[in-house]
Amino acid sequence: MINLELPKNLQDLDGLLHQFAEGGLRPISRKYDLLEQRELPEELVELGALLKVGSSPQAPNDKDAPKEGNRNGNSMRMAVATEAMCWGDAGLYLALPVIGLGNAAVQAVATEEQKTEWGELFAAMAITEPGCGSDSANIKTTAVLDGDEWLINGEKIFVTDGYRCRQVVVWASLDTSMGKAAIKSFLVPKGTPGMTVTRVEHKLGIRASDTAQIVFENCRVPKSSLLGSPDIATTAAARKKAFGGVMQTFDNTRPLVAAQAIGLARAALDLAQDLLKESGLELKYTKNYHQLSALENDLYELEADWESARLLVLKAAWMADNRLPNSMNASMSKAKAGRMGNTVALKCVEICGQLGYSQSELLEKFARDSKIIDIYEGTQQIQQLIIARQLLGKSSSELK
């Protein structure tokens, strides 16, 4: 039997974090959207500490999960938490000191010894380069072993939280002639000599979260900073498996980015319906199709689109927790939710007219914030390519 309801512990987590988002993030949403400052919003320091204290004791350890049967572990918890907090504000969620896109890379690739050694993280993820976007196999940043240290050289752009973070997970190649098999991840602490933040972007949306350009010039990090194994695969099968370990980061993070779109779209739908209710229009699901106005029909279609995207996100997260290959499902959830979030937010602006377009309400901000979720962590085009390869059984060289 299929049960599409969240278990009680995740429902409780969702309720707790919705309260956190409503009372902590939403009241300062407009303030930091307008400020677009580089420094960490002072309220987030206390809110981050409160979030850590309030949620960690209730979070069960994945090691304690059952060996057989259904598991709802860290991926599902993070998907639920991300949706709830992005209902409050997606930019502020990304700026929270306890959140970091690079944290997922550490969890996916690092050894247990490394995780223990590094402890608490607020790590950004540095993948994109001026000549390399969604095609991560074309990374030109290099890491060369020099004695007991790695020497990193290259340039990264569009690094979320790259200015405020404590660490940066840098994707670099050990040998550019070896292609994607030689790409590895390195944890580089902020302030390491040779690592320089050269620009902080001014953006359309998620303005509370900084987006930086980082240059690495002979940046030295210890040998132990490499996440996972330093070995470069030599056979074709081994190379595919090696890069698959790196790509596991995306399998973990794409459902979470999709969950950002779920939370933001829910916020837009809730606010639009509240505004319409004040004008005398309230959705009643007992009406027959021929009784619906054009406006009601639009809202029902948006609700259906949201629900289908949410189920894809939860499935991809559940598969990750249950050790099932979820690469295609992660891309499906990201493609569907990213597109849905942007469509829903823009339609809610249109439906609410002047109130949707003005800064008197947050709908116009939700619309601006929604676009980047459709783009980062892999565009629509790259997600569709991944899905097509999986469905057709083609490799990246066979289907480009």
- Annotated catalytic residues are 377
Secondary-structure breakdown of the chain: helix, strand, coil percentages, each rounded to the nearest 5 = 55, 15, 30
124 neighbors 162 (Cβ within 8 angstroms)? yes
How far apart, in Å, are the Cα atoms of 205 and each of 29, 34, 76, 344, 365?
A: 12, 10, 26, 16, 7
Q: Could you tell me whether strands 167-173 and 123-126 are parallel, antiparallel, or unpaired per DSSP bridges?
A: parallel
370 neighbors 257 (Cβ within 8 angstroms)? no
Q: Is the dihedral of CA 379, 385, 390, 391 positive or negative?
A: positive
Here the tokens at position 111 are 């050894």
Here the tokens at position 79 are 């998907």
Burial class (CB in 10 A: 0-12, 13-18, 19+), 259: buried
Non-local (6+) Cβ contacts of 5 within 8 A are: 11
Non-local (6+) Cβ contacts of 386 within 8 A are: 327, 328, 331, 378
Q: Which of 275, 277, 281, 274 minimizes the C-alpha distance to 295? A: 281
70 neighbors 209 (Cβ within 8 angstroms)? no
